Structure formats: C-alpha cells, structure tokens
C-alpha cells in the first residue's frame, strides 16, 4: 500500500471536514458554521484550488464551501486559500499574502458531489461552480458515472436559493450535450449557453482553474453553461 502523506495533514487541518457525521450535521444550518447570514457559494471539485482561493479572497462578504475527494487536492486548496502556499510561477491566479492570512469565510469538505442532498438543506446555496468534471467518455456505458445526471440536477435545484445559479464548464462537447439533454424536464432555466465562451466574451483570465490553463495552452475550446433557478 502506498503511503499518502496528505491523509494525516487533511485529517488535522482546521479548514477541512472529513467526518461524514460532522458534515451532514450542518445540513440546513451552514450559516451557523460561518456565524453569519452571508450567501453561500459552492464549488464541487476544487482541484488544486486556483479558482477557489481567488474567489474566497475577492469575495470576503460571501461564504464558500468546496467539495473535493482527493486528499492532496484538499490540502493544497486549503493551504493556497489561507496563503501558506503559492501557485505555479506561470499562473495568472493571485493568492493571499501574509497580510491576508486570517481567512474565515471558507471550509472544505471531503465528500462526493453526488451527496449534496445529504449535506445541504433546501434553498441553502446561492451559486454552484462545477468546472471540468470527469467526462467518463472512454466507453459508452461510462456516461452513467457522470456527475451531472438529471437526479443530481434536481437535487442541486432543491438546495439552491431562488435566483441562484449553476455555472458549468467542460472541454468535452459530448459531456456538454449530455448535460443539455439531462436538463429536459427539470426546472432550471438556461441563461447562457456557449461552445466557445472566450469567443463569446465570457472569459476572465484571472478566474480560471489549473485545468483550464492547460486546455487553453492547447487551444481547446471551453463549453460554458449558466443556469438559473
């Protein structure tokens, strides 16, 4: 068995929740964790935290919850957000400096995105970001493993406030079309749909993930979807 050095680091990190009972215990009352009534923004799949840390810094009047399943990504995201680590030299994403170390408006959860209905109450989330989830496109039958199934979209709709949004990006046109098909019969309203959101002037250079940096370096077009409750 390969020893993962990040397991213990994650377990003792004050900004990362691992215990499932602790996580589910805040369902419907995440405002109690943050000790305020500010809007809660969710990112499912934080990766290494470039986008998440940037959003937390730039929107300190909002609360942020990040969901990720991999230990290394959780730890890197947490440390990057509180300013204890830096992005790669080529990154366009800013990070907190020493003067910004007191960051209280975020928490990270080690949990699968499919579990949102067990973690959040109705109308608890203001906005959700889902960027470049696994497309599960190696084999035809793998599409059943995709996160954005109709059942998930309905669950997300329930936990989202009226007027709240889902922002979705993918480099995989097959997954993008799949999500559009799954939206049929749901209550979500499409606000923006684009197969090349940079061309459509929706792109912000300082608001991208590490995966998007790679895709852009390869001139891969990014599909963008914005939904509203």
Q: For 155-200, write each residue's pLDDT tens digit.
A: 999 999 999 999 999 999 999 999 999 999 999 999 999 998 776 6
The CA distance from 112 to 96, in Å, is 27
Establish whether 134 is a catalytic residue.
yes
In the prediction, which pLDDT does 141 show? 66
**Is residue 66 a part of any domain in this protein?**
yes
Query: For residues 108 and 15, is the Cβ–Cβ distance under 8 A?
Result: yes
Q: Which residue has the higher pLDDT, 84 or 62?
A: 62
**Residue 216, helix vs strand vs coil:** helix
Nearest to 38 by CA among 66, 63, 64, 65: 63
No. of helices (H) and no. of strands (E), the chain? 9, 8
3-state secondary structure of 70: coil
What is the reported pLDDT for 95?
Answer: 42
| Residue pair 148/180 in contact by the 8 Å Cβ criterion | no
Residue 1 inside a domain? The answer is no
Diameter of the chain by CA atoms?
A: 50
Read off the pLDDT band of 214 (50, 70, 90): confident
Q: Which domain holds residue 25?
A: 6-228
H or E segment to which residue 131 belongs:
strand 125-131
Cα dihedral 21/2/85/211 (nearest 10): -90
Give the pLDDT score at 13. 96
Per annotation, catalytic residue among 118, 134, 196, 206: 134
Are 96 and 82 within 8 A, CB to CB?
yes
pLDDT for 204 beyond 90: no
pTM attached to this predicted model: 0.88
- Reply yes or no on whether the pLDDT at 16 is more than 90: yes
Report, as an integer, the average pLDDT of 214-227. 82
Instruction: Tell me the pLDDT band of 7, cut-offs 50, 70 and 90.
Output: very high
User: pLDDT, tens digit, for every residue of 106-151?
Assistant: 999 999 999 999 999 999 999 999 999 998 776 666 678 999 999 9
Which phi and psi (to 5°) does residue 159 adopt? -85, -5
Q: Is residue 79 part of a domain?
A: yes
State residue 158 phi and psi, 5-degree precision: -65, -35
Strand, coil or helix: what is 164? strand
Edge-to-edge strand list for the sheet holding 16-17 = 16-17, 106-110, 63-68, 40-44, 125-131, 160-170, 223-228, 189-194
The reply to whether 203 falls in a domain is yes
Question: Which one, of 108, 68, 104, 100, lies nearest residue 84 by Cα?
Answer: 100
Q: Tens of pLDDT along 28-81?
A: 999 999 999 999 999 999 999 999 999 998 999 999 999 999 999 999 999 999
Residue ranges of alpha helices (H) inside 2-149 are 6-12, 20-25, 30-34, 50-58, 71-82, 116-119
Total count of domains within the chain: 1
Q: What is the CATH number of the domain that holds 187?
A: 3.40.50.150
């Amino acid at each position: 068995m390969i020893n993962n050095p990040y397991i213990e680091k994650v377990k003792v990190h004050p900004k990362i929740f691992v215990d499932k009972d602790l996580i589910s215990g805040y369902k419907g009352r995440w405002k109690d964790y943050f000790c305020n009534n500010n809007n809660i923004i969710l990112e499912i799949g934080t990766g290494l935290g470039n986008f998440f840390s940037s959003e937390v810094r730039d929107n300190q009047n909002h609360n942020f919850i990040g969901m990720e399943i991999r230990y290394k990504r959780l730890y890197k995201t947490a440390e990057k957000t509180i300013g204890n680590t830096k992005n790669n030299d080529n990154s366009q994403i800013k990070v907190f400096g020493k003067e910004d170390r007191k960051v209280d408006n975020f928490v990270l959860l080690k949990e699968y995105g499919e579990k949102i209905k067990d973690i959040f109450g109705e109308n608890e989330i203001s906005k959700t970001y889902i960027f470049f989830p696994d497309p599960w496109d190696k084999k035809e039958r793998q599409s059943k493993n995709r996160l954005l199934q109709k059942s998930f979209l309905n669950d997300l709709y329930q936990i989202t406030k009226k007027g709240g949004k889902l922002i979705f990006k993918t480099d995989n046109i097959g997954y993008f079309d799949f999500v559009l098909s799954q939206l049929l019969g749901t209550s979500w309203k499409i606000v923006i749909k684009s197969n090349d959101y940079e061309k459509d002037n929706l792109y912000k250079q300082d608001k991208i993930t590490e995966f998007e940096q790679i895709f852009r370096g390869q001139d891969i077009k990014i599909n963008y979807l914005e939904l509203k409750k």
